[in-house]
């Protein structure tokens, strides 16, 4: 059974914030240079190394501001309202959460999620069955990771993506084959962890400067490139 972001069990997961920095992913993950939490970056590098020669991960988005998240929520809510005019408010919330997380539990806002795909040795995207960000309505359900309405080649590519990312400790949001996360509330619920380790990045702005510096002192630069950052935390 698919667990949706709107499931109250997701919001009930506590957050024991790790205060890990956002780091910028290197060029090997594509031109987006997405920013993610340091622990997620390390796991993405592990997944990248596990892929066969000639295939690479291409990350198109990582951390997203609260304002950007709310804009996506608003736009898709309007589409759902148009497509399902008879839906009750609670039904509409469930439908919307198939494609975009409520702000309070959004993995992207926590710097804990990436949207990604596979590319070949020339950097050209492989056919994964749908574009990234195809809605359930647009894709007729083929956006689901395990959709039965896929060619054998696409199923194999999705299985490869799922294997390397799952082995690296990430979890998938089942209605979006491209969305994978680590350390957020959804990840904690799916894996059985006691708590999430990454909360909304915007919340970290409420720390006073002394608290931030104390946590920074204990952090190591996981990318080894000096790009661990504590500035720009505001959403």
With vertex at residue 139, the alpha carbon angle to CA 137 and CA 141, rounded to the nearest 5 degrees, is: 75
What distances in angstroms separate CA 125 from CA 30, 48, 120, 130, 226, one per listed residue? 11, 15, 6, 11, 30
Per residue in 91-102, pLDDT tens?
Answer: 998 888 888 899
Domains and CATH numbers, the chain: 8-217 (3.30.1380.10)
| Tens-digit pLDDT profile for residues 11-29 | 999 999 999 999 999 999 9
d(C-alpha 13, C-alpha 167), whole Å: 23
Among candidate residues 60, 58, 62, the one with its CA nearest the CA of residue 122: 58
pTM of the model: 0.85
Span 174-204, pLDDT tens digits: 999 999 999 999 999 999 999 999 999 965 5
Element (H, E) at 36: strand 35-37
CA–CA separation, 233 and 204 (whole Å): 7
Question: In angstroms, rounded to a whole number, what is the distance separating the alpha carbons of residues 113 and 184?
Answer: 8
Per the rule left: phi > 0, alpha: psi between -120 and 50, beta: everything else, 224 is left
- Name 80's Cβ contacts closer than 8 Å, sequence gap at least 6: 87, 92, 95, 96
Closest CA to 195 of 1, 42, 10: 10
Rounded mean pLDDT of 56-76?
Answer: 94
Give me the pLDDT at residue 195, please.
98
Burial 80-105 (b: 16+ CB within 10 A, else e): beeeeeeeeeeeebbbbbbbbbbbeb
């Amino acid at each position: 059974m698919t667990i949706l972001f709107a499931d109250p069990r997701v919001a009930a997961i506590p957050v024991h914030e790790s205060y890990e920095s956002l780091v910028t992913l290197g060029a090997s993950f594509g031109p987006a240079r997405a920013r993610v939490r340091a622990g997620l970056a390390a796991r993405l590098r592990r997944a990248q190394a596990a892929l066969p020669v000639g295939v690479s991960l291409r990350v198109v988005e990582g951390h997203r501001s609260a304002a950007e998240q709310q804009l996506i929520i608003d736009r898709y809510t309007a589409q759902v309202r148009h497509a399902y005019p008879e839906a009750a408010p609670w039904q509409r919330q469930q439908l919307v959460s198939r494609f975009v997380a409520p702000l309070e539990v959004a993995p992207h806002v926590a710097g804990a999620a990436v949207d990604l795909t596979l590319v070949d040795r020339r950097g050209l995207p492989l056919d994964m069955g749908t574009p990234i960000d195809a809605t359930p309505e647009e894709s007729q359900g083929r956006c689901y990771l395990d959709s039965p309405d896929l060619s054998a080649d696409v199923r194999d590519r999705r299985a490869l993506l799922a294997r390397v990312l799952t082995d690296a400790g990430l979890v998938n949001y089942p209605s979006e084959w491209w969305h994978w996360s680590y350390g957020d509330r959804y990840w904690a619920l799916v894996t059985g962890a006691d708590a999430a380790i990454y909360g909304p990045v915007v919340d970290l702005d409420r720390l006073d400067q002394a608290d931030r510096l104390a946590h920074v002192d204990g952090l190591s630069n996981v990318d080894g490139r000096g790009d661990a950052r504590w500035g720009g935390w505001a959403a």
